[in-house]
Structure 1
Amino acid sequence: MKVLLIEDEPLLRQGLVRIVERMGLPIEEIGEAADGREGLRRLAELRPDIVVTDIRMPEMNGLDFIREAKKLDEKLEFILVSGYEEFEFAKRGIQYGVADYLLKPVDPDELRGCLMRIMAKIEQDRRHSSLGEELRQLQQKSEETSRERLLTKLIQQGGESVAVEQDEKLAAMSVSCREFAVVLIEVALPGLPYRSFLQGDEALLRFAISNVISQMLESAEREGTLFRHSIYDKELVYVLGDGNSIEPAAMKRELEEALTGINRYLKLEATIGFGMPVRSVRQIHQSYQQAKQALRDRILHGRNQVYAMTPAPGGKGNERSVLAEEDERFVFRLLNDGGAEALTKWLGRRVEALVQYESSSFNQLESFCIDLHLLFRKYLLLQTSIPEWIIGEVDDMLNWLHAAEDWTEIAAKLTDMASNMIEHLHRMRHSSNPDLMDEIKLYIDANLHEPISLQTIADRFYIHPNYFSRRFKERFKGSFVSYMTDERIRKAEQLLKKTELQIQEIAVMVGFPDAAYFSSVFRKSTGTTPVQYRSKAER
């Protein structure tokens, strides 16, 4: 808090300063002024919270000062200091909103009491004001979140008239525009603070990007609205509407200019994808899906570019993603021979050739991966009835395919799949135990002290973790994790009964990282702590 003391008598003023300084109140600065006119100047310099002022002063008296000061800052609190003969003036001051008044000579305890009451009131007002601002911001955030969810549902599913009607901008566009298209923007956000953007300025950054896009794309015949996808928060979705028709080639050029603007003015990298135009705002989900597919081309050709969704050409680009009959015979021969190195090299060359083709798309790479999965499955069906053990379901592959950030990740994943497949076939052909599930169970039972996980099993036995998890549950009527926990607790019970090992030692022997976690799991499973269990067993 800051206090300004206004008194024309220097000795009285200095006395007031010393009194306030000795009070021990949370006052960070005490300012002084000799009259009302100087007091007004000091208001701008000091920005006090409380003013203690005399009534009778030269140049400008206390009441005139209060009247003018209120015009500058209506939240200022005032304490009037007056003599007995100035009681009528004091009453007028209270009418002006003065918090309190004191009689001369000022009693330190009375002044301290006045200051404490006023300071408490200011703090309470600030808390209320802060709470009100916080509630206002929460309401705005809630409204924006609701809008994002509504518009996300529209672009995901389409046909939502409620979304169009409830969003003012979209409703206006549905009337004034003839064609619509979706533009997706992914910005490589730096850690904040960054340049002029401070910590917590994510919303401001999105606003700046929106401004750049809007300035580049909007015109007399064109409008747009931007929002963040409520599920994929990296996606900024810009719904564009045009009073005439949207020409994709021209749109791409304009988006490239917008991208240059983001690079130049915001010093950020962004990747943009846009879908084909549609004739109704309720059909924009089609354009959105196309924009999303176009944006995935960054996996092949890099970020900080504009990618347009165009109808699939029938030329060389598609041929490069098709596995011909000679490819099938070649892959089958390598699988029969166990040629892991040759197969992984061939896969790497095929993916790299597809990526280097200028007009290739992620859709073509996806088709190649699906074709390869089907080819592997076809071969495995000749060897085993459960190919999913080894390569998983096609949906598993699509999940990691769509989560990839770069084509090299996909190439590595495909070569891992091929190597894993050959290793599994080798193991299967030379295994003395034809039932792999029993072999895995024996391995688990013998290695409970190790940090075994689904991935551990998958890596050791060359099987797919998701499919193994499902088969394990079908075979043993419980999940892999539950089985591991039950077996570890069962072994711990035996050790507690038959040995004098410490709890920490037993915890390590049955695969728990520490005694505290072991005790928590043991109690949840048996209803007693390890110590209680051992005590009961000894009776």
Structure 2
Amino acid sequence: MIKTLIVDDEPNIREGLKIVIEWEKLGFQVVGEAASGVEALRKIEELQPAVVITDVKMPKMSGLELAAECVKKELNISFIILSGHGEFSMAKQALNLGVNDYLLKPVDEDELTEALIKLKKDKFSSISRHHSEPIYLQAQFDQLLSSNRERELPEIKRLFKIDNQISFYYVIVDSRGNIPVDTIKGLIQKTLPSNSTISLKKHMCGSYGFMIHSTMLKDYNHSINIYLMDLISFVYKETLKEVSIYLGTKKRNLYELKDSMDEAVIASVHRYYRESGIIIDYNNIQHLDFCDEYSETQYIDDILNGVLDRDRGEVTRSINNLVNYFLDQYLSAHIIYLHLNRLLNRVLESVQKLGGDSEKIIHKADFIIKRESQIYLYSLPNKIEGLMDVVLNIINKLKNKSSLGLELKEYIDVNFRENLSLKCVADKFNVNPAYLGQVFKKETGTSFNSYFHTLRLNEASKLLLQSNIKIYEVAQSVGYMDVNYFMKKFERQFSTTPKQYRKNYNKSIKI
């Protein structure tokens, strides 16, 4: 299949082009789309299309500028330009850039189909005279792995040096995104005979598949397992990174290579239950059935209770119990994610009820939210524990903040004779004064100033009744250096002067 990229700043046009053209029947595959020339350049680097169908006028970078940039970078890409009537003269300039064809908008389905057929015949048939061309080789390999029964087997056999007496395997190498594709291809090439032809097909993140046939295995006693073990060792020796291998069954017919690929993909699903650096052979896992039924488990509640109790030991034990449950039940990835999402939702609800910010939790839970394809059960306890560590830190801070008002109250009770203010106390507690005032009022039912002065005046009333010291001395004893200010405060609280308050008490004793 000829990989094709569609570039247009109008989403409806991009979607329409994908729908109206019978791409696969024509031998093309739409591998991506872009809304601008800038985005298209990134997609070209990532997807390596052989054909780009692009609009002329787009924001940031036009279609012609995109084509010029590809020429400058010496990228072997065929362009079909889509031009509005107003840009017809601009489209003519495309011929100087080697653009293969241009069509006027609105695009006619038949015209574009004819342009694709012509492009395939003129451009890609000519490449067949240069079999070392990577684009042509990749196109033929993609076609071999497609469901198209009109695959050109003689041409494919010639390209990949295949005779009628050999057998085939499809192998997926999974570096978990740690090794660049060019490095992977080079390492595979070094483990095989020098005249071997290799082409890679991208699968899930960081994994690539390739065909290997029996003549390539002559240095390994024609054993696929010996070769794959050697490949794993060689990759680690060269990169210090482990790879896993997913292997389809041996096929005698080249038409059946796609079946071997499908089996390797099925084997790759079982990576959740395996460590890295191993071979997962479809022959060994085809009898294993994932459990695809969801039922709630107590272990999630246990994790949450451990977090709320701030018991790290209980959290760790419950996480291990949860992962062991996944293993024992052999749950599918989909069901595992349902459990992980339930855990995340329960945690977020609890933190939000305590008034906490969930942003850090969501960031740490990226492996759950984005359904990270490279999640493995042997590493899952560490991932969950890392998430729970963030939650525990947040809850600890929330718990500490919830007692902040009481700590302030205790501090005032001991130091009320000092010249205290909300600002100086807030500095001591390393918090914002306004926030401290809000927390104190929420937890005590009164403001800082009200509590502070009430405490002082109550202590002053006791001194007035239990001693004969002078009123200014009473004021100074509870922290008021200005006796007039003290008398105003006292009279406001007790509705009488300090002197009269003492006098009334003495009269009541005599009676």
State whether TM-score is above 0.5. no
TM-score (norm 1): 0.33
